[in-house]
Structures are given as C-alpha cells and as structure tokens.
C-alpha cells in the first residue's frame, strides 16, 4: 500500500512538471532557472541530470556539492536555485530537473538539453533525379548536398517568379503545374546558416502563347512608334527648312528695298547739289532743253 502511494505521488509530481528545450553547442553553456519563482525561503536545492544527482545544497550545513563530470564547471546560485553548466558536450544531452526544499513544485519546469552541431549547411545543388523528355509529364528534382552533422536541415523551393515555399528535400514538377516556371532554385537552412543553390532551367518550361502574342504586339507597337517619330522628325525638318528659306527671302527683299531707298536718297542729294551750284553761278537750272534754246536765240 505504501509503495502504491509513493508511486502515485511520483506520478502526480511528474504530471505537474513542464518540460522546456535548451539548446547548446560544443563547448558552450546553459543556464537553468527555477521556474516558477519559489516565494518561500530556500533551505535545500537538489538538481538532477536524468535520474542522477548533479548538484546539492543544504542550508543547515552550508554545504554545496557537485557530482561526477559536473565538478569544476558548474555553478549554483543558492539564493534562487539558478544552475549554470559550462563546457557542455554531447554527453550532457538529457533532462535536467530540480527539487526545492525536498519537493517538485507545481508547474515546475524541467529542461531537456539538446546538442546542436555548429556545422554550416553546404551550398546545395538542384539535381533532376528522373529522366525528363519531351513526352514526360512529371519529374523528380532534389536539393542535394552533404548535410552530415548539419542536421536538422529544412528545404525551400522557388519556382520561377513565385515566392519561396517550404517543402521537402525532393519535389515533383509536372508539365501542367510548372510549364510556365522558367527557373528552379532550392535553399538549405539550419540553425546557423542558410545557402541557396544555382538556378537551373526547368525542363518543362514552355513560353506562354499569350506572352508570344504580347511580344509580337509589343514589337509592332515599337515599330509603329519609331515610324511615327521618324515621320514627325522628317516633317519638323521640312518645316524648319521652309521657314529658313522664307527668312532668307525676306532678308534679301529687305536688303533690295534698302538699296533702292539708298539710291533714291543719293539721287535726291545729287539734284540738290546741282541746284545749289547753278544758283551760285546765277543761272537757274534748265529743265526744258527746247525752251532754253529758244530763249537763247531771242536774246541774240
């Protein structure tokens, strides 16, 4: 009866515990806190690794002791029960639990320490695993690379211009679903790194007929636009030359008019000079030669 009661108490304590993952790298450290916070005065702390003793402190004799491989690389804060383990290795993977004042408190957190290798993922390569011919309807492609000691690794795929999609190491591509995706790219990711493969051409890629029509109309539109631009330039050049000819003609006409006016002014000036000379000689100018001849004969 007493054994049955003890087993029930142990099961009840385990059911109250909450497990939390703690990740560490080779040579790193982990910090384990007593959670939830223990409000009463702490008189006794007992940390366990698996089912074995790791560290123990008793306020009555003020003695703090660490066990086995944890000696010399572990510290314990006796005010709050915080445990820090340094120089971690793969052998330290496992469950860490704590008892305060001889019992596991309600909702007490135990920790599962997990070892993570620090190796980065390799640069992946997209490999077509099955033959893709003109008559094929589907193919298998994989994201290859040596992921030894780099796990866990996740794989993402990018088809054409679509967004990245989280899938498996290998995927299936089909003529119906992927005919318009020109490129295929994959990506490897772990906790420490991320690398993207070189892009390959999708063996099922086909140019969309709608794109061909669009390209044809685009080219025709560009040719028409170029023709219109050329015609506009030609007409503009013609108008410019015509205007230049008109301006030259107008300048010539103005020059001719100025020359005529200058000759008229010169003639007028000569007449005034001649009239002045005649007046100075005491004779009036003879405007009519016949009258001048008659007048001369009468005086004789």
Per-residue pLDDT in tens (0 to 9) along the chain, 300 residues = 444 444 444 444 444 558 888 888 888 898 998 887 777 888 999 999 998 999 999 988 888 899 999 999 999 998 898 999 999 988 999 999 999 887 876 667 788 888 876 678 999 999 998 877 767 788 999 999 998 878 889 999 999 999 999 999 999 998 888 888 899 999 999 877 899 999 999 988 875 555 555 666 778 788 888 888 888 888 888 888 888 888 888 888 888 888 888 888 888 888 888 888 888 776 555 544 444 444 444 444
Q: Are residues 6 and 58 in the same domain?
A: yes
d(CA 129, CA 136): 13
170 assigned to some structural domain: yes
Compute CA distances 53 → 71, 75, 107, whole Å: 12, 14, 21
Domain count, the chain: 2
- DSSP characters over 130-147: S---TT-SEEEEEEE---
Between CA 61 and CA 44 the distance in angstroms is 10
Q: Are residues 102 and 27 in the same domain?
A: yes
CB 54 within 8 A of CB 66: yes
CA proximity to 124, closest of 185, 167, 63, 40? 185
Three-class SS state of 228: helix
The enclosing H or E element of 270 equals helix 209-280
Q: Which of 201, 235, 269 is the last residue of a domain?
A: 201
Q: Are both 75 and 12 inside the same structural domain?
A: yes
* pLDDT given for residue 125 in this prediction: 96
Examine residue 58 and state whether it is found in any structural domain, yes or no: yes
**Pairwise CA distance, residues 239 & 287, whole Å:** 55
Written as six digits, the tokens of 185 are 């790219």
Sequence-ordered strand ranges (E) for the chain: 18-25, 30-32, 44-49, 52-58, 63-66, 74-76, 83-85, 94-100, 109-116, 125-128, 138-144, 154-159, 165-167, 170-174, 183-189, 194-196, 200-201
Both 174 and 73 in one domain: the answer is no
Q: Is the residue at 239 inside a domain? A: no
Please identify, among 176, 201, 226, the residue that sits at the C-terminal boundary of a domain: 201
Asked which of 52, 84, 116 is the last residue of a domain, the reply is: 116
Nearest one of 49, 29, 38 to 110, comparing CA atoms: 49
The reply to whether 7 and 54 lie within a common domain is yes
Residue 294 included in any domain: no
Residue with tokens 């690379």: 145
- Say whether both 109 and 27 belong to one domain: yes
Which of 72, 35, 76 lies closest to 58, judged by CA?
76
Together in a domain, 139 and 109: no
CATH number of the domain bearing residue 169: 2.60.40.10
Residues 16 and 85 occupy one common structural domain = yes
Domain membership of residue 138 as a residue range: 125-201
Hunting for tokens 């003695």 — which residue is that?
Answer: 63
What is the structure's pLDDT at 216? 66
* pTM summary value: 0.41
Let me know whether 138 and 79 are in one domain: no
Based on the fold, state whether residues 105 and 164 are members of the same structural domain: no
Same domain assignment for residues 91 and 7: yes
232 occurs within a structural domain = no
Q: SS3 for 80?
A: coil
How far apart CA 147 and CA 142 sit, in angstroms, is 14
């Amino acid at each position: 009866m007493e054994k049955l009661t003890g087993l029930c108490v142990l099961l009840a304590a385990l059911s109250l515990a909450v497990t939390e993952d703690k990740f560490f790298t080779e040579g790193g450290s982990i910090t384990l806190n007593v959670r939830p916070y223990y409000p009463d005065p702490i008189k006794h702390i007992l940390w366990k690794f698996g089912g074995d003793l790791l560290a123990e402190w008793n306020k009555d004799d003020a003695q703090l002791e660490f066990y086995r491989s944890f000696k010399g690389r572990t510290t314990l804060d006796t005010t709050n029960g915080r445990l820090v383990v340094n120089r971690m290795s793969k052998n330290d993977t496992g469950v860490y639990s704590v008892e305060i004042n001889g019992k596991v408190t309600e909702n007490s957190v135990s920790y599962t320490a997990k070892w993570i290798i620090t190796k980065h993922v390799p640069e992946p390569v997209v490999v077509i695993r099955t033959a893709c011919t003109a008559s094929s309807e589907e193919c298998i492609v994989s994201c290859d690379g040596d992921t030894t000691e780099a796990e866990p690794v996740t794989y993402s795929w990018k088809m054409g211009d679509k967004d990245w999609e989280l899938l498996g190491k290998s995927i299936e591509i089909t003529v119906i679903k992927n005919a318009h995706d020109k490129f295929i790219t994959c990506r490897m990711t772990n906790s420490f790194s991320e690398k993207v493969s070189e892009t390959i051409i999708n063996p099922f890629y086909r140019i969309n007929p709608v794109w061909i029509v669009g390209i044809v109309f685009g080219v025709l539109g560009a040719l028409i636009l170029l023709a219109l631009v050329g015609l506009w330039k030609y007409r503009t050049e013609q108008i410019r030359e015509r205007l230049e000819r008109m301006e030259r003609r107008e300048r010539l006409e103005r020059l001719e008019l100025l020359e005529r006016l200058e000759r008229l002014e010169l003639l007028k000036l000569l007449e005034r000079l001649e009239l002045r000379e005649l007046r100075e000689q005491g004779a009036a100018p003879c405007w009519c030669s016949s009258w001048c001849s008659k007048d001369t004969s009468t005086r004789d």
